[in-house]
């Protein structure tokens, strides 16, 4: 028994106390600030895997409100670089994972928590939505569920994009914001499913469209910083020309202007788009075509750092970042560094105005100003890499 006790290092008795106290403290705060309410989950304890769509900064707290037992959240690198990281680890012991990359250590930690009877909470998109619709995810999450052989809890957050869009500056007062368990899939139900079938089920059950709720979200600054998501004008094609103020935004190049409404619509339609997600999907493809044709994208006034897990970030020289079809480059007074795509494992958006790229075992981070759009760098890298893979010769074919 002593040997078994020594091995049980992740799930702690104190976590149950911490979650119970946090639930009492946070319930009125979440209601007063966000008007958020949650339905109580029908499942009473772990082990289980809880998957949720990812809408806002506070999602872990919103999800946890439905469950009356501790959840062990999978968290990205940046959480473990904060001054309060040691306290967070002691209180709730989240599971660290590198964004947009396979992480074997994270998988081992997840299975370990489940083996100890804990409940693991994961946002399989890995990134909060910028468009209001589902972020891309991989079938790795379905493979993990298959290996775990524990109940799968599918959880929906609705209204979070309306209340606290990732690109926004301030939370809005909404008429609907709620979380609930959408479905519980026991292991005997998904055991005979293929990975592809289970993955399709996960995507389908986690897909939420706040624009279809019919709710309204009030703010006099509801369009503020929309250029963090919309970086290309669909009227004139200029990049980096969208500027927001109050409830309106416009293109500084062609002068086209529209309102972002309380109902999450664009009025009048901007270049034919009346919803953010349609515009977002267009620019995601269009920017790749233009970069492949020789265009470069550049931003100045950036902060360049190396992010080291469990330590403070290290500032690196350079105040300008640019990207073309071959590399990310960072330059400044007396310095120029080039990071070829074939040496980069992944590029991922972090927070509202940062992106990380994983280069030769290092996590390098670019942070911009208040209007910096990080997602265009992710779109370009992912799109160029996908194009290269699609055009590569298949040596296995005769």
What are the DSSP calls for 11-45, one per residue?
Answer: S-HHHHHHHHHHHHHHHHHHHHHH--EEPPPS--S
Rounded Cα gap, residues 92 and 11, in angstroms: 9
pLDDT digits (tens, 9 = 90+) for 349-370: 998 999 999 999 899 999 999 9
Place of tokens 């075992």: 361
- Position 396 pLDDT exceeds 60: no
Hunting for tokens 């500056």 — which residue is that?
169
Stretch 129-157: mean pLDDT: 95
Distance between CA atoms of residues 278 and 272, nearest Å: 9
Residue among 188, 187, 161, 190 at smallest CA distance from 260: 161
Instruction: Flag the least confident range among 77-91, 192-206, 371-385.
Output: 77-91
The span from the CA of 133 to the CA of 278, in Å, is 10
Side-chain-side CA neighbours of residue 97 (13 Å): 25
Confidence of residue 65 (pLDDT cuts 50, 70, 90): very high
Residue 380 exposed, middle or buried by CB count within 10 Å (0-12, 13-18, 19+): buried
Residue 130 has pLDDT above 60, yes or no: yes
Give me the pLDDT at residue 2, please: 44
Query: For 293-321, what is the mean pLDDT?
Result: 91
The mean per-residue pLDDT over the stretch 42-64 comes to 93
Q: Compute the mean pLDDT over every residue in the chain, rounded to the nearest whole number.
A: 91
Residue 395 pLDDT exceeds 50: no
Calpha distance 44→119 (Å, rounded) = 10
Packing angle, helices 276-292 and 375-391, rounded to 10:
60
Q: List residues bridging with 367 in a β-sheet.
A: 303, 354
Rounded average pLDDT over 69-90: 74
The whole-number average pLDDT for the span 386-393 is 82
Query: Which secondary structure element, helix H or strand E, spans residue 165, and what is its range?
Result: none
CA dihedral 303, 388, 97, 55 (to 10 degrees): 80
Q: Is the pLDDT of residue 42 over 50?
A: yes
- Rounded CA-CA distance 369/240 in Å is 13
Confidence of residue 4 (pLDDT cuts 50, 70, 90): very low
Residue 152 has pLDDT above 80, yes or no: yes
**pLDDT at residue 95, as a whole number:** 84
Average pLDDT for 241-249: 97
Contact 187, 246 (CB under 8 A): no
Predicted confidence at residue 397, as pLDDT, reads 37
User: Which band of pLDDT confidence, cut at 50, 70 and 90, is reported for residue 99?
Assistant: low
Q: How confident is the model at residue 11 (pLDDT cuts 50, 70, 90)?
A: confident
Report pLDDT for 1: 40
The percentage of the chain sitting over the pLDDT mark of 90, rounded to a whole number, equals 76
- Residue closest to 235 by CA, chosen among 258, 214, 210: 258
Q: Is the pLDDT of residue 56 over 60?
A: yes
Least confident of 149-163, 272-286, 307-321: 307-321
Question: pTM here?
Answer: 0.87
| Better-scored residue on pLDDT, 392 or 260 | 260
Contact of 231 with 253, CB cutoff 8 Å: no
Residue carrying structure tokens 């910096």: 372
Q: Which helix (H) or strand (E) holds 243?
A: strand 242-245
285-320 burial, b for 16+ CB within 10 Å, e for fewer?
Answer: ebbbebbeeeeebebeebbbbebeeeeeeeebebeb
Q: Whole-angstrom Cα distance, residue 289 to residue 379?
A: 11
Average pLDDT (288-293) is 98
pLDDT greater than 70 at residue 113 = yes
**The predicted structure's pLDDT at residue 250:** 98
């Amino acid at each position: 028994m002593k040997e078994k006790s020594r091995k049980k290092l992740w799930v702690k008795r104190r976590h149950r106390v911490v979650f119970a106290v946090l639930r009492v403290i946070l319930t009125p705060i979440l209601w007063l600030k966000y008007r958020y309410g949650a339905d109580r989950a029908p499942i009473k304890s772990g082990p289980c895997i809880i998957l949720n769509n990812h809408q806002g900064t506070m999602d872990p707290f919103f999800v946890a409100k439905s469950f009356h037992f501790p959840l062990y959240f999978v968290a990205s690198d940046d959480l473990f670089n904060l001054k309060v990281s040691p306290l967070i680890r002691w209180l709730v012991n989240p599971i660290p994972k590198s964004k947009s990359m396979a992480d074997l250590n994270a998988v081992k930690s997840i299975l370990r928590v489940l083996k100890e009877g804990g409940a693991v909470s994961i946002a399989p998109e890995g990134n909060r939505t910028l468009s209001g619709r589902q972020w891309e995810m991989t079938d790795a999450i379905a493979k993990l569920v298959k290996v775990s052989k524990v109940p799968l809890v599918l959880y929906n957050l609705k209204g979070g994009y309306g209340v606290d869009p990732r690109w926004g500056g301030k939370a809005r007062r909404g008429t609907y914001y709620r979380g609930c368990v959408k479905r519980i899939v026991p292991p005997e139900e998904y055991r005979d499913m293929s990975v592809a079938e289970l993955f399709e089920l996960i995507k389908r059950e986690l897909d939420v469209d706040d624009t279809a709720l019919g709710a309204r979200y009030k703010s006099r600054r509801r369009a503020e910083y929309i250029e963090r998501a919309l970086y290309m004008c669909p009227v004139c094609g200029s990049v980096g020309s969208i500027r927001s103020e109050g409830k309106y935004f416009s293109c500084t190049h062609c002068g086209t202007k529209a309102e972002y409404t309380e109902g999450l619509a664009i009025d009048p339609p901007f270049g034919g788009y009346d919803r953010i997600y349609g515009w977002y999907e267009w620019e995601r493809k269009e920017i790749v075509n233009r970069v492949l044709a020789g265009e470069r994208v550049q931003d100045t006034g950036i902060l360049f750092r190396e992010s080291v897990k469990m330590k403070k970030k290290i500032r690196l020289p350079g105040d300008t970042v640019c990207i073309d079809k071959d590399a990310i480059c960072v330059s400044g007074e007396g310095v120029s560094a080039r990071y070829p795509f074939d040496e980069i494992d992944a590029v991922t958006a972090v927070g509202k105005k940062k992106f990380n790229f994983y280069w030769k075992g290092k996590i390098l981070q670019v942070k911009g100003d208040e209007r910096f759009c990080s997602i265009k760098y992710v779109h370009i890298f992912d799109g160029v890499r996908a194009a290269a893979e699609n055009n590569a010769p298949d040596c296995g074919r005769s």
